[in-house]
Structure 1
Amino acid sequence: MHVMIRVLLADDETMIRAGVRAILSTAEDVEVVAEAGDGHQAVELTRRHRPDVCLLDIRMPRLDGLQAAAELARTAPETAVVMLTTFSEDEYIAGALGSGAAGFLLKAGDPRELIAGVRAVAEGGAYLSPAVARRVITHLDSGTLGKRATARARTDELTDREREVLALVGAGLPNAEIAARLHVVEGTVKTYVSQILARLGLKNRVQAAILAYEAGLVRDGE
């Protein structure tokens, strides 16, 4: 029996919501529990339904997706936020990552990415659309998102085991898979991740993954 992943879908376009719902309905372990037409409604419905994942369009009336994501990070941190948008410009990516989102998907992407992203963040992981991931990695390689020396100095504060966990987070692995690789229970991994975020002053796993790349803990292709 599947453990159902409860999803809230927020987009101001009814047809887009219908299309996303149709894609998610093909996954036996995903259930859309509510829909919202603007950011304010998305926040209210998330507080009411407490879904595992909230899919947010970036451009919405009343409260845009980035503002809604930041609000949910404060008031419903147990719900993982994934930004869903037609835009791939750098400012949107930076804004989404800075708002506390655990994932970023492009509406023009492969429908399988949508289901994969929902599953990944529901399991405590992070997910970037491949097109977005390539853009982020390119910036990391060029140094525009931070200098490697600075990142290494920050990660040097961690224990060897914490750096190992951070590298696996950077590779996009969920807690269960990290636990299997390190031969520990999943609860131990959750504790490590919480400690890493706290020690490094990071908001979420996406920011941790970026730092892992900056510090050279993860190689392109992993």
Structure 2
Amino acid sequence: MKVEAKPKKPRIDIIEDNMKISQNVMKFISFHDDFEVGESFGSAEAFLYKLEHHPKYQPDILLLDIGLPGLSGLEALPKFREKLPEIDIIMLTTYEEEEKILKAMCSGACSYISKKESLKTIVEAIRIVVDGGSYMSPNVAREIVKYFMGGGKSKATILTSRQREILQLLVKANSYKKVAEKLNISVETVRSHIKNMYRTLEVNNKTEAIAMYIRGEIK
């Protein structure tokens, strides 16, 4: 009788320089059987060192603080996305300013959680991400709504320059491979940028993004 393999549990890593916070969060996650507790890092550089010396190392979800020694979480985010395009990055931080929230989301974070939230809420947010969703703490979501209701930047201006380059090439019917060749980057990096762009524009596919471009909503 063939025994079916158990589904792989999502592996959770954390980058947090406050050891007490890091230990409390990871210990609470370990109480839940649907997750695998990974490693804790005190800096972005330590995580990058791990990736460099262990190329097969691949956590599924990364909890990332912003206020870190050395590289900040916001500075490190694009580097992580480039090396691990499939990873889901959840910001877990005390910062709730709209500028930092927008920069994090535009750089590839899928969720943004305030450290004021309970450990139970953090686990619930991780489950939402595992299921393909995105989570924002209520205070964070409120800041985003205020930003757009107050006449903030258009969706076009919060795309990165690289995302706009890629979208412009896609509009001209270039394949992912052609886009990668023209920009001298890997196809996986192209896919990562496109995934982040979809999140920013709140669309589900290339057709919707191109339609926005054609309608003049993205320049």
Alignment TM-score > 0.5, same fold: yes
Cα deviation 1:17-51 (Å, max 9, x = unaligned): 01111221232211221111101112333564201
How far has the Cα of 1:63 moved from its partner? 1.6
Residue from 134, 141, 147 that aligns with 1:139: 147
Residue from 125, 132, 138 that aligns with 1:124: 132
Q: Distance in 1 between matches of 2:126 and 2:154?
A: 28
How far has the Cα of 1:206 moved from its partner? 3.5
Change (3 A) 1:85 1:46: farther
Change (3 A) 1:41 1:204: farther
| Partner-residue secondary structure (3-state), 1:32 | strand
Cα deviation 1:64-115 (Å, max 9, x = unaligned): 1112211011111111111110111122212211221111111111322211
Match of 1:22 in 2: 27
Change (3 A) 1:140 1:33: same
Match of 1:103 in 2: 111
Cα deviation 1:123-157 (Å, max 9, x = unaligned): 33222122211211222222213279xxxxxxxxx
Match of 1:194 in 2: none
Residue from 59, 72, 83 that aligns with 1:64: 72
Change (3 A) 1:9 1:18: same
| Partner-residue secondary structure (3-state), 1:102 | strand
Change (3 A) 1:147 1:35: closer
Moved more, 80-89 or 90-99: 90-99
CA contact (8 A) 1:56 1:83 kept: yes
Match of 1:203 in 2: 196
Match of 2:177 in 1: none
CA contact (8 A) 2:17 2:68 kept: yes
> Matches of residues 28-107 of structure 1 in structure 2 within 5 Å?
28-45=33-50, 48=54, 49-107=57-115
Change (3 A) 1:57 1:105: same
Structure 2: unaligned runs, 5 residues or longer: 1-5, 157-189, 213-219
Change (3 A) 1:207 1:5: same
Task: Calculate the TM-score normalised by the size of structure 2.
Answer: 0.65
How far has the Cα of 1:122 moved from its partner? 2.7
Change (3 A) 1:202 1:77: closer
The total of aligned residue pairs comes to 164
Q: Greater Rg, structure 1 or structure 2? A: 2
Change (3 A) 1:97 1:75: same
Task: Calculate the TM-score normalised by the size of structure 1.
Answer: 0.64
